[in-house]
């Protein structure tokens, strides 16, 4: 049995449909709780460590300056645990708390995304083109307790801090330091 998806002529593949049909018919067990970081990433890292799975990149990033970051599943698993600890301990966040991240697509963006999944923290990404007014709106609407950005965008965040009553911590991604900001690289 196949069907079109949202009027698109492309058909959903039968393995996907049969998998979801088997779930709806109660033939497959769904976990009560699912966490991509611990249930998938950590499992692949374990298989890689035990040499039951070849060491392939889990993450491979290259920018326009040809700088490259390549991480195995084991490395990404370990780094995401450390980043989750930074969010939980240094930033004082708990499960269900919100983090707004306004960053260009640097490796830390993905690392924080996985760390938030791992810790049960809600990750709110924002484009790096946001203005101070946009940032204030997102802080107020999300009730974020942590804001993550880089050196370039930090002044816009600082300009709206008086209007953000929920914010507990600010995390900067970069080599520099700013007064009142925690540095992600130093904490990792």
**CATH number assigned to the domain comprising residue 160:** 3.40.50.980
In total, how many domains does the chain have? 1
Residue 50 placed within a domain: no
Residue 56 pLDDT:
84
Residue 5 pLDDT:
46
Residue 17 placed within a domain: no
Residue 144 placed within a domain: yes
* Bridge partners, residue 59, by sequence: 71
- Tokens in use for 68? 């490259």
Residue 27 pLDDT:
64
Residue 32 pLDDT:
78
Residue 85 placed within a domain: yes
Residue 175 pLDDT:
81
Give Cα 71 to chain centroid, integer Å. 15
Residues 6+ away with beta carbon under 8 Å from 125: 101, 102, 103, 109, 113
> 174 by DSSP, 3-state: which?
coil
Residue 48 placed within a domain: no
How far apart CA 138 and CA 42 sit, in angstroms, is 32
Residue 17 pLDDT:
52
Total Cβ atoms within 10 A of residue 110: 18
Residue 4 placed within a domain: no
Q: Which H or E run includes 34?
A: none
Name the DSSP class of 161: G
- Can you give the residue range of the structural domain that contains 145? 59-186
Name the stretches of the chain with pLDDT < 50: 1-14, 16
CB 158 within 8 A of CB 179: no
């Amino acid at each position: 049995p196949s069907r079109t998806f949202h009027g698109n002529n492309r058909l959903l593949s039968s393995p996907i449909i049969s998998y979801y049909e088997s779930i709806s018919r109660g033939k497959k067990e769904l976990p009560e709780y699912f966490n991509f970081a611990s249930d998938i990433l950590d499992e692949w890292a374990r298989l890689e460590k035990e040499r039951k799975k070849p060491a392939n990149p889990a993450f491979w990033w290259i920018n326009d300056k040809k700088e490259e970051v390549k991480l195995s599943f084991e490395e990404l698993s370990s780094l995401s645990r450390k980043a989750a600890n930074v969010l939980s301990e240094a930033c004082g966040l708990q499960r269900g708390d919100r983090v707004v991240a306004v960053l260009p697509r640097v490796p830390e963006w993905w690392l924080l995304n996985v760390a938030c999944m791992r810790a049960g923290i809600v990750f709110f990404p924002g484009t790096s083109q946001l203005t101070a007014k946009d940032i204030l709106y997102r802080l107020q609407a999300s009730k974020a307790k942590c804001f993550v950005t880089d050196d370039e965008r930090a002044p816009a965040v600082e300009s709206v801090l008086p209007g953000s009553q929920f914010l507990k911590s600010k995390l900067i991604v970069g080599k520099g330091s700013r007064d009142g900001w925690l540095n992600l690289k130093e904490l990792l």
